[in-house]
Structures are given as structure tokens and as C-alpha cells.
Structure 1
Amino acid sequence: MTAAVLHLATPTALERGLLRLAAAITAYAEHRRERRAERHEIALDMLREQRARKRDPRALDIALLSLGSRPR
């Protein structure tokens, strides 16, 4: 191999810059995807918790009885 062939095989400064830019954009997109997935998981957890906490219609009557008051 000659020196000219080896020189052509390496990326140019522009290509190296474009590769760095592509890596930075990829890292940014991955970070946003991870954050979005975290927020989505938190929202699902909150929704599950809200659905699990069904209101007991007798809770007020029980609380009033425990305070010594008459139920509604």
C-alpha cells in the first residue's frame, strides 16, 4: 500500500466533524427518549395508584361513628 491509499482511507476533517455531530445528536435523542420513558412510567404508576384507591362510600360514616357523631 502506498501512502496515498492510506491517506484516502482515513476520514477527512469534515467527515470527522459530521461523525461527532451525528454522535451528539444520537446521544441527545437517546437522553430524551429515556426521560420520556421515565415520565411515562411515573404517569402510569400514578394512574394505577389512583385507580387502586377507590373511595369507600361508607368511609365518612365510619369516621363520624369513630368520633362519636351520628352517621349521615
Structure 2
Amino acid sequence: MVTATLHLVSPTPFERVLQQIAAALTSHVERRILARAERRELALDLLREQQTRRHDPRQVDHLLATVGLPRR
């Protein structure tokens, strides 16, 4: 009777495969979450930099001149 109980405690080969698949899927999802968080952080840094950067009015005039439009 004891051997039957011990046999039921260990996972079956199918259950082991399912555990491996679940572990692989979990690690894949965690990597994607981290990558998305890094991309979001980079995007926020770029946005903050663009919003705090002062625009040079002479640069706008120069860009307008290069396109061929009259200056302001």
C-alpha cells in the first residue's frame, strides 16, 4: 500500500512536460514584460527630453529656408 501512495506522489511524464511548458511560457512572458517596460522607459525619456528642449527660432528659419519657404 505504501508503494502505491509513493507512486501517486511523483508527477507523471505528461505532467512533467506540462510543467516544463508552463515554466518556458512563464519565462517568455516575463522577458516580454521586461522588454516592453524598457521600451516604455526609453520612450518616456525621449518624450521628456523633447518637451524640455528649447527650440532655437533661428533653426526654424534655417529649416524653412532650406525647404524654400519664406522666413517668418
Percent identity reads 53
TM-score (norm 1): 0.75
CA distance in 2, matches of 1:19, 1:10: 13
Divergent runs of 4+, >2 A: none
Q: Which consecutive unaligned segments of at least 5 residues does structure 1 have? A: 61-72
CA RMSD between the two structures: 1.2
TM-score (norm 2): 0.75
Amino acid at match of 2:20: R
Higher helix share: 2
Q: Which consecutive unaligned segments of at least 5 residues does structure 2 have? A: 59-72
CA distance in 1, matches of 2:38, 2:17: 32
CA distance in 2, matches of 1:10, 1:54: 66
Describe the superposition over 1:28-72 as per-residue Cα deviations: whole angstroms up to 9, x where unpaired.
000000000000000000000000102144xx3xxxxxxxxxxxx
CA distance in 2, matches of 1:53, 1:31: 33
